[in-house]
Amino acid sequence: MFLGPPGAGKGTQAARVAERLGLVHLATGELLRREVAEGSALGRRAQAIMAAGELVPDELMIAMLKARLSKPEVRMGFILDGFPRTLAQARALEAELGAEGVEAAVLIEVPEEELVRRLLARGRADDDEATVRRRLQVYREQTAPVVAFYRDQGRLRCVDGLGTIDAVEARLLEVLT
Ligand code: AMP
């Protein structure tokens, strides 16, 4: 599981590390953007919420994740990117995975000024300044408790997210292997 604020590089790094380690990359934001592009019922519900930088309701996200985890291709292992974003999601994940649980919760740390700089440079639909600020606030309010949840259990590993993509990837591989 890769944790960290928007702009920390979770998506870029999860894609690389998953490829390197032969794992499936499960990115809930990507899955949602696909639903929006397809105009599915879920996509239509999620679109405005995502555009505002808010979180899609837990019940929808938990159902989406459970559906993914029941597919055969995740059996070889997976990296979660963008989930869990709330304590309720973290608890649902723990319940779903049972005794084995999550093998590693890795926090990618990047200072806030750098996050804002990166997100504004990225130019995604939800990357305008007001939405970026809101997404960072949502992270502090709703997702930081998830980080604390894994830290309190002694299961959190922290990685410095500053530097080149290759350098951060090397640090991640080091804490994972
Ligand atoms: P991301 O690509 O991870 O930055 O996600 C983009 C947007 O999708 C977020 O700002 C949320 O609106 C939504 N989203 C992605 N994952 C979740 C999640 N686990 N819970 C709630 N909303 C999510």
DSSP string, 23-69: -EEEEHHHHHHHHHHHT-HHHHHHHHHHHTT-PPPHHHHHHHHHHHH
Answer yes or no: is the C-beta of 33 below 6 A from any ligand 1 atom: no
| 135 catalytically annotated | yes
- pLDDT of 99 > 80? The answer is no
E strands, the chain, are: 2-3, 24-27, 78-81, 105-109, 156-160
> Cα of 53 to ligand 1 centre, how many Å?
8
> Cα of 119 to ligand 1 centre, how many Å?
14
Note the pTM of the prediction, 2 decimals: 0.96
Q: Model confidence over 128-163: pLDDT tens digits? A: 999 999 999 999 999 999 999 999 999 999 999 999
Q: How far apart are the first and last CA of the chain?
A: 14
| 10 catalytically annotated | yes
Answer yes or no: is the C-beta of 55 below 6 A from any ligand 1 atom: yes
Q: Please answer whether residues 93 and 84 qualify as being in contact, where contact means their C-beta atoms are separated by less than 8 angstroms.
A: yes
> Cα of 43 to ligand 1 centre, how many Å?
12
- pLDDT of 105 > 90? The answer is yes
Helix (H/G/I), strand (E/B), else coil: 173? helix
Token pair, residue 24, equals 């499936």
Ligand 1 atom with least separation from CA of 6 = 4
| 122 catalytically annotated | yes
